[in-house]
Amino acid sequence: MVTDRGLQVLRAIVQDYVDTREPVGSKAIVERHAFGVSAATIRNDMALLEDEDLIAAPHTSSGRVPTDKGYRVFVDHLAELRPLNHSQRTAISSFLEGPADLDDLLSRTVRALTQLTGQVAIVQYPSFARASVTHVELVDLGSGRMLVIVVTDTGRVSQRIATVREEFDETDLARLRSRMAALVVGRSVRDGAQRVAEMLETESTAVTRDSAAADSIARILAEELDEFRQDRMLMAGAANLARRESDFRGSIYPLLEAIEEQVTLLRLMSEMVADEHGLAASIGRENEQFGLSEASVLASDYDVTSGHARVGVLGPMRMDYPTNLAAVRAVARYLTRMLEEDDSAR
């Protein structure tokens, strides 16, 4: 059982080790922190922390460093997050201001977060399976090409070119547009995809087939709606892992291989348990099944019309947790605000 002073000593060890990269000894703790007790008393506290596997001695050093379990206890007992300063908050708002679309907004989000934290930044796309299709537009480009545009209520926009055989006048185009819209507009992405698939299956065996254009456009719709349903993510700052290679006990190559597997990272991000503030952390051995046992992942929920998704950072266990958690939370809040403003403007 860790005492209150033991937790304070653990906090001091984590903070000093993050700041200095050097193992922390009892004398340094007494000199840097106002505990009001002797170095011998601090050594006793450190011995108890070591018994609990919260700190460990690297090599033969007299100092101690936090274990992944120690970082976990430190994060769980954080009294408060370190607030971002004015320039950091301004940087976030400047980065995220005036995006062209959702893709641009999320790209700006990861660039802002990696710049703020010096870690790998990750953002999940919202799940569009429950999003509703609000508009389908067809634009005849001539020369046998048709631009197919699909828009959802979450701001996702898809544009694909279909190859068609017929030439269309305005009446034909309006009829074709109306038919495609009737399939999917006002329906969820999931339901719309199912209706398009049913149409394609029915008409592929019918004696009288619709025009080749309708078939081609329906196939484009099916592919785009299916892509809307796929979980996706964006990442930035992978080079930061190489810059901080000394913070990892072994080679960073297995870590680089693990983060290339987006499905793995998406699973981890989705399975992390958030606290009442929407913040989540997964540290060290907690990530072993994902190939990230040397890393920590911090995440925060951001809200969208269809539910919520997550934005976060990945880096070595030796990181500034209070500041990085505050940055992740701040970026998530800005992102939520931007998406809410976009919803209200539509």
Compute CA 158 distance to the chain's CA centroid, rounded to the nearest angstrom. 21
pLDDT at 335: 92
Q: Which residues of the chain have pLDDT under 70?
A: 60-61, 128-130, 203-211, 305-307, 342-346
Strand partners, 187: none
Residue 149: strand pairing partners: 137, 159
pLDDT of residue 307: 65
Q: What is the pLDDT of residue 240?
A: 92
Residue found by looking up tokens 């090409």 in the block: 145
Token duo for residue 324: 């990085």
Phi, psi dihedrals of residue 153, rounded to the nearest 5°: -75, -5
Beta strands per DSSP E along 21-180: 55-56, 65-66, 120-124, 133-142, 145-152, 157-163
Q: What b/e sequence results for 11-36 when a residue is b if at least 16 CB atoms lie within 10 Å of its CB, and e otherwise?
A: bbbbbbbbeeeebbbbebbbeebebe
Q: Which domains does the chain have, with CATH numbers?
A: 4-76 (1.10.10.10), 86-127+231-345 (3.30.450.40), 133-229 (3.30.390.60)
Cβ–Cβ < 8 Å for 108, 95:
yes
Q: To 5 degrees, how large is the angle CA 291–CA 314–CA 334?
A: 145
- At 345 the pLDDT is 56
The answer to whether the predicted template modeling score (pTM) of the entire model surpasses 0.75 is yes
CA dist., res. 274 & res. 239, Å (int): 28
At 277 the pLDDT is: 84
Burial class of 313 by CB neighbour count within 10 A (0 to 12, 13 to 18, 19+): buried
Rg (CA), the chain: 26
**pLDDT, position 209:** 38
Coil/strand/helix, residue 154: coil
pLDDT at 207: 37
Cα-flanking dihedrals φ and ψ of residue 135, to 5°? Answer: -160, 140
CA distances from 200 to 70, 216, 222 (A): 57, 10, 9
Pairing of strands 55-56, 133-142: unpaired
